[in-house]
């Protein structure tokens, strides 16, 4: 899967591939992942609040997962940086470098990769908490579904002007391919 940016002028993207080694009965005996790249998502929200999410995955080619109940899983690192701008108040940037993606393939042919991170930051004028969840899944290893959602909870105050905005369901992309 390629995750393309929606930010003007950003041409970089993230590539993620998940693979499994199956036994003669079609059950996974190992899992592997290749992932790398950077991408950005920018949204202008209610009241002109701007949310920018920058996602980076260092070059990760990994095989040799660990056994879990009814399957195998593997993880790899990534980082998320969020910047929130509130008109007339200012901006705040938060970063999370310690996040890991988990990819799992199960014996019932179910495969899932979930990338999740949250950032939180606070300065004199404002504070924000942002999250990103990307899910790639398949129930039959033929048709793949992918979706990404962001969350934001931001508050700021300047010279008597107060803003508090929360959205837990900002759709970034959703679809499927066969």
> For 79-130, what is each residue's pLDDT tens digit?
999 999 999 999 999 999 877 777 788 776 678 888 889 999 999 999 999 9
| 94 or 8, greater pLDDT | 94
Return d(Cα 98, Cα 79) in angstroms, integer. 7
- pTM for this model (two decimals): 0.85
Specify the number of domains making up the chain.
1
What's the N-to-C CA distance of the chain in angstroms? 12
* Cβ count within 10 A of residue 63: 12
Contacts 24+ apart (CB under 8 A), 61-65: 61/32, 61/33, 61/34, 62/32, 62/33, 62/34, 63/30, 63/31, 63/32, 63/33, 64/30, 64/32, 65/30, 65/31, 65/32, 65/103
| Whole-angstrom Cα Rg for the chain | 18
**Which domain range does residue 52 map to?**
2-177
For the segment 45-86, what is each residue's pLDDT rounded down to a tens digit? 999 999 999 999 999 888 888 888 777 788 888 899 999 999
Spatial contact of 146 and 133, defined as CB atoms under 8 Å apart: no
Residue 40: per-residue pLDDT: 93
Spatial contact of 61 and 144, defined as CB atoms under 8 Å apart: no
């Amino acid at each position: 899967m390629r995750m393309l940016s929606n930010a003007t002028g950003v041409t970089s993207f993230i590539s993620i591939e998940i693979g499994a080694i199956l036994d003669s009965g079609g059950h996974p005996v190992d899992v592997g992942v290749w992932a790398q790249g950077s991408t950005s998502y920018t949204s202008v929200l209610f009241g002109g609040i701007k949310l920018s999410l920058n996602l980076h995955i260092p070059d990760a080619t990994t095989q040799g997962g660990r056994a879990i109940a009814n399957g195998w899983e593997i993880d790899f690192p990534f980082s998320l940086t969020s910047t929130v701008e509130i008109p007339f108040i200012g901006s705040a940037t938060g970063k999370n470098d310690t996040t890991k993606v988990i990819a799992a393939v199960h014996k019932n042919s179910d495969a899932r990769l979930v990338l999740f991170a949250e950032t939180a930051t606070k300065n004199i004028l404002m504070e924000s908490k942002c999250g990103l969840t990307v899910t790639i899944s398949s129930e039959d290893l033929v048709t793949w579904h992918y979706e990404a959602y962001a969350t934001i909870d931001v508050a700021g105050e300047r010279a008597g002007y107060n803003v508090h905005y929360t959205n837990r369901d900002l759709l970034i992309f959703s679809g499927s391919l066969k």
